[in-house]
Each structure stands twice: as C-alpha cells, then as structure tokens.
Amino acid sequence: MANPFFRKSLISVEQLTHPQAIEFLFKLADQMEKRVKRKIAGQELKDSTLAILFFQPSTRTFTSFSAAAQWLGNQRLIALPGMGAYSSTIKGESLPDTIKTIEQTVSADLIILRHPDDNSCQIAAHAAHVPIINAGSGKKEHPTQALLDLYTIKKKRKTLDHLKIIMLGDLRNGRTIKSLSKLLALTAKDVEIFFISPPQLRAPRHLIRQLKKKGVKIREDKHLETFLPQADVLYVTRIQKEWFPSQEEYLKLKGSYKITPATLKKASSQMILMHPLPRVDEIDIRCDHDPRAVYFEQVRNGLYIRMALLASILGKI
C-alpha cells in the first residue's frame, strides 16, 4: 500500500482507522530492528530537521525518538527536554506562539511534542505548517506508546485477535491505556478488556462507551485475582502522582496493586506482563526474570516503531 503516514501529523490513535496502515508500520519496524541489530545506520533523515519539544518528564519516549532520528542518519536534531522549565512558556507564551517560533528558529520539518494539556497536539498542529507527532498529551493520548504496545503484543502472540487483556492501575489519569484500548478496538477482532482499578481511578465513562460501541467487551472491577488466570496480557500502569490534588490523596492509593512472583503463579504460562514504564512499586523487580515480563522489550520496540514512523512521515522509504 502507499505510505499512509506521508507528511501527516499523528495526534490521536483515532486517525489509524485502517488496519493496513498499522501493518505497513509494523513491517517497516521489523526492517528497522534488523538494521539496528546489524548496527547499520540509515540515511532517510539525513536532510531533515527535527525538533523534539518536551514539556513533561520522560526517559524512554525522549531518548528513543532522539535515537531513532540518529539511526536514520539525522544530523539536525534540536532535542529540548526541559521546555516546561526553560522556555518562554514560563513568561506566559502561548503554545501556538512557541510552535510558530520553533518552526522559524529551527526550520523544522517535523515537531515531536509532549505536553501536559489534553488538546495540546491538536493546537500545535493547527499552528504549525509541518507535521506534529504526539509524544504524550495530558491524560488523553499517547499514540506512539500504543503503537509499540500493539507491536509487542503482535510479536509475542502472533495475532491481535481473540485477546483478553487486563489493564490495571490508574485508569483515570493514565493516557497509555486510553490510546491502547482505542487502538485495539480499531485493529483487533474479539477483544475483551478487564479494567481493574481502585474505584476512584476508574477509566472515563466516555471511553467505556466508545469502546463498547466498537464491539469491545468490557469488565470493570477492583480485584485482579478473578480475571488473572484467563488473561493473555496483564498491562500494568503506575498510579499517576502528578495528577493528584495532594500528596495525601496520592498516598491513599499508592501501592493499590503490587505484582509479585506469587501473582504471576496464578497467571497463564503464555500470558505476557506489560508496563509502559516508569514503574514505581507496582511490579516487584523479582518479576523481571520471569520470561513473561516484556516491559524492557516494549522499550526496545519503541525505538523500531519510532524509526518506522519518522521515516514514513518524512517520506524517505
């Protein structure tokens, strides 16, 4: 198929309505993996200029986008992880003005943006003349994380269909489960999602309605145990401290769930244990040795997916 990402922004997973577009990206990511393993850098982004603007903290997304650009031969990368603290935002500059400025100063062909506001990437895309990639917006969306999560599930299970997935933790504030559940609804047949959270941190009602409309079977509970034995995937998330009104409120719910080797004994031997990371205390480090734990593989897959996406958007494939 023709490159469906060419010169387009990626703001929301809801843009990815064609399973073929996902397949296109995954095939390219497979090629990127082979290339990285052989330590062969490409030339696709040699003549492009990229700006990476992060207004929120990041370890994986920031470094993997930066590394992805370099693996594609990019030499003009302006990577700014401290926009929230060091840009003129502090002086009251609006996001559209910041984006328009960066287009001028950097002469960017593409802008990768992480921002605490839900609609930040839409606003940026409206202000910009070049594509915007959403690298995490507020509590709402994290499309590249959802793509690498989906890619990991596909690699591990060979198919996305007939999937029983538990999404556990802070489902109210976490953005990864929202993007991943919507992407599953768009791309996989016969999906059952068990949303497990403390009652205060349930997934938004509009998300549940949207998923049900797409035919996804939904169950909600606060107990993990009932659903664990039947799950193909256990997707754990952290309680999102930064969105709580007070430390006290956070401490009440911190530690709500803790996955230990004993928990994994109750799960199927074929299940995979995922986490977008960073983890705080919700997965015991002793689980890291279990072959079912794939969270660091997810991180590596993020490099391949982001390479595939950058090359596709800039059209050098």
Is-catalytic flag, 91? yes
Given the residues 114, 140, 172, 182, select the one marked as catalytic: 114
Least Å from the CB of residue 27 to ligand NCD: 23
Given the residues 61, 144, 152, 263, select the one marked as catalytic: 61
Size of the site for ligand NCD (CB under 6 A): 12
For residues 60 to 79, the per-residue mask of contacts with ligand NCD, x marking binding by CB under 6 A and - elsewhere, is xx------------------
Q: Is 276 a binder of ligand NCD (CB under 6 A)?
A: yes
Is-catalytic flag, 205? no
The two structure tokens encoding residue 8? 């387009």
Least Å from the CB of residue 91 to ligand NCD: 26
Instruction: Select 73 or 116, whichever has its Cβ closest to ligand NCD.
Output: 116
The two structure tokens encoding residue 194? 């068990």
- What distance in Å separates the CA atoms of residue 157 and residue 268, rounded to the nearest whole number? 13
Is-catalytic flag, 61? yes
Give strand pairing partners of 53.
Answer: 80, 113
Of residues 160-179, those binding ligand NCD (CB under 6 A): 174-176
Backbone φ and ψ of 9, nearest 5°: -75, 155
Instruction: List all residues 6 or more positions away from 183 whose beta carbon is below 8 Å from its beta carbon.
Output: 13, 16, 22, 143, 146, 147, 149, 150
Question: What SS3 state is found at 219?
Answer: strand
Instruction: List all residues 6 or more positions away from 93 whose beta carbon is below 8 Å from its beta carbon.
Output: 87
Is-catalytic flag, 105? no
User: Under the rule (CB under 6 A), what is the footprint of ligand NCD?
Assistant: 60-61, 136, 142, 145, 174-176, 237-238, 276-277
Active site residues: 60-61, 91, 114, 142
